Amino acid sequence: MLKVESITQIFGGLTALENVSFSVAPHSITGVIGPNGAGKTTLFNIVTGLYTQTEGKVYLGDKNISFFEPEVLARLGLVRTFQNVELFGQMSVLENVMVGLHTKSKSGIFSCAFKLPGQIKEEKRIKEKAYQWLEFTGLADSADVTACNLPFGKGRLLEISRAMAVEPQIILMDEPAAGLNSRETAGLAGLIRKIQELGVTIVLVEHDMELVMDVCESIIVLNLGKKLAHGTPREIQENKAVIAAYLGED
């Protein structure tokens, strides 16, 4: 599904990632873990086209997507969420999800300004679709709330609804549980499984080990920019190098 091949990223002399390779199986849930500064978010930024890697390649299926822009990746079915929740704060919750449907609609500036019949129909369709995604994540009640007024936990859910509206093949979540309380985290685990049931491949960076061990089928460990291990949750828990890295860091 997703294949990362010998990625190296150097920021002005500082090596953030060094020769990292792995692949993610279709329809699986993969966790990327590692101590702070391990390069997890950098890896996400490279895969999603926000950074240009110094070296290495990224494949989506058979397609080489190494230097694709994020907007192109969205059309190919690769989306992400952000560690710090990047909502469209001034827009309503519903409108946020409707932006997620941008690639699923095509009215141009002309037909939008003149409200041509095709545009009105399309607008109705994406509005309904957006509601469906809000129902999927349980946010339908907040549809008309301005996004910046949402409590943090719901903001995370909105970000996931919005990403799902793109109807991705694969979704990358950057610390989806950060800032959530335990009840919300449990709900998140359920949601992640629900997303998997739709046939979507999931990759998540996460610090909440309980969540990672619970939902992930496969785990990649990064440490100081290098891949330390890749295996099932059980294998990772028993891996000496991983334990040393975590204990050594803490």
Partner 1 sequence: MDNPSQLVQYILTGLSNGAIYALIGFGFAIIHNATGILNFAQGEFVMLGGMFTIFILSFLNIPLPMAIVLAIAFSTLVGILFERLAIRPLKNVKPLSLVIITIGASIFIRGAAMLIWGKDTHALPAFSGNEPLYVYGATIMPQHLWIFGITILIIIANKLFFSYSILGKAMRACAYNAYAASLVGIDVKIMVLLSFVVSAAIGSMAGIIIAPLTMTSYDVGIMLGIKGFCAVIIGGMSSGLGTVLGGLLLGLLESLGAGYISASYKDAFAFIILLLILFIRPEGLFKQKETQRV
Partner 2 sequence: MMIKEKRQIFIFLLFALVVLLVPIFLKGSYFLNVLVFIGINTLLAVALNLLLGYAGQISLGQAAFFGLGAYISGILTTRFPVDPWLALVVAAGCASVLAFVIGFPILKLKGHYLAMATLGFGIIVYIIFNETVDWTGGPSGLSGIPNLRLGPFVFDNDRNNYYLVWMMTLGVMLLSINLSQSRIGRALRAINDSEVAARVMGVNARMMKVQIFTVSAFVSAIAGSLYAHTITFISPASFGFNFSVELLTMVIIGGLGSIYGSFLGATILTMLPEFLRVFRDFDIVIYGLMLILITMFMPAGLIGGIEMSIKIIAEKIKGSAENNA
Query: Which 3 state secondary structure label does DSSP give 91?
Result: coil
Size of the chain, expressed as the number of residues it contains: 250
Give strand pairing partners of 201.
Answer: 170
Tokens of 16: 């953030």
Counting residues that bind partner 1 (by CB under 8 A) gives 6
> Percent helix, strand and coil across the chain, each rounded to 5?
45, 25, 30
> In this chain, which of 6, 21, 52, 237 binds partner 1, going by CB under 8 A?
52
> Using the rule CB under 8 A, is 12 a contact of partner 1?
yes
By CB under 8 A, residue 174 contacts partner 2: no
75: contact with partner 2 by CB under 8 A: yes
CB of 121 to partner 2, least distance (A): 12
Smallest Cα–Cα separation from 107: which of 130, 132, 94, 126?
126
Q: Are 65 and 75 in contact (CB under 8 A)?
A: no
Tell me the window of 19-27, 99-107, 199-207, 231-239 that interacts with partner 2 (CB under 8 A): 99-107
Residues 36 and 161: their CA atoms lie apart, in Å, by 27
218: which strand partners? Answer: 30
- 50 scored as a contact of partner 1 (CB under 8 A): yes
Q: Does 169 bind partner 2 (CB under 8 A)?
A: no
Residues that bind partner 1 (CB under 8 A): 11-12, 45, 50-52
Residues that bind partner 2 (CB under 8 A): 48, 50, 69-71, 73-75, 79-80, 82, 86-91, 95, 98-100, 102-103, 105, 107-109, 112-115, 119, 122-123, 126-127, 162-163, 165-166
